[in-house]
Amino acid sequence: AQSVTQLDSHVSVSEGTPVLLRCNYSSSYSPSLFWYVQHPNKGLQLLLKYTSAATLVKGINGFEAEFKKSETSFHLTKPSAHMSDAAEYFCVVSERDTGRRALTFGSGTRLQVQP
Amino acid sequence: NAGVTQTPKFRVLKTGQSMTLLCAQDMNHEYMYWYRQDPGMGLRLIHYSVGEGTTAKGEVPDGYNVSRLKKQNFLLGLESAAPSQTSVYFCASSFRGDEQFFGPGTRLTVL
């Protein structure tokens, strides 16, 4: 069985400072990992994905994440926060080696960006 | 390409009423999914389909039914709505079952 734990339900940063959103996963198979972002009253947008190629993954809007198998982590980072980054972020794991191909979502981290 | 669209965007039901949510995708994806989103719980899988004419239960299927008569459409039905089904419902589709593309969501309130 697979699971995802997002270690912080809320993160608050000042504009221009670094962002770190933490995610740990558990998977019986070779995982695909994703970060999705959801702005208020909107659908989910893919930020980036890891599918067993490079362990450092670059996404949209300056975000990146590093897959660390030894730590079972996939933390999301950005060097400098922007006001438009305020949203909810979901870490997601996929069962790549099973027929269902469903995603398991973390409970989300709400990012606040202070001016 | 419209991507993934959902109809309706909002709906209010009374307990015991029925309704159908429609999801359509124009990307020729094989896999389609229905999720519900509740505060503090992320998204939970209700039902999914790996191809036209096939459906399967997800994590929270009770009280819902689905049909995939056409490859591009995935319908979610509530036969007798309950207040516990108040939620935001998201449809998603995927080509090979990996990266998923999401619709804008349907906000459902059951009184």
The answer to whether residue B88 scores a pLDDT higher than 70 is yes
Range scoring the smallest mean pLDDT among A91-100, B26-35, B69-78: A91-100
What's the CA gap between A100 and A110, in Å, rounded?
Answer: 29
The answer to whether residue A109 scores a pLDDT higher than 80 is yes
Cα torsion A89, B74, B38, A93: sign: negative
pLDDT in tens, A68-82: 989 999 999 999 999
Mean pLDDT confidence for A56-77: 94
How far is A101 from chain B, CA to nearest CA, in Å?
5
Yes or no: say if A111 and A89 are a contact pair by the CB < 8 Å rule.
yes
Strands (E), chain B: 4-7, 10-13, 19-25, 31-37, 43-51, 54-57, 65-67, 73-78, 87-94, 101-102, 106-110
Question: Is B88 an 8 Å CB contact of chain A?
Answer: no
pLDDT in tens, B39-74: 877 899 999 999 999 999 998 999 999 999 999 999
Q: B94 vs A101: CB contact, 8 Å cut-off?
A: yes
What's the CA gap between B52 and B72, in Å, rounded?
Answer: 8
Q: Which of A44, A96, A99 has its CB closest to that of B90?
A: A44
Nearest CA in chain A to B105: A43
Nearest CA in chain B to A40: B104
CA dist A22 → A35, A56, B70 (Å): 11, 15, 40
The answer to whether residue A100 scores a pLDDT higher than 80 is no
What's the CA gap between A103 and B47, in Å, rounded?
Answer: 12
Nearest CA in chain B to A50: B99
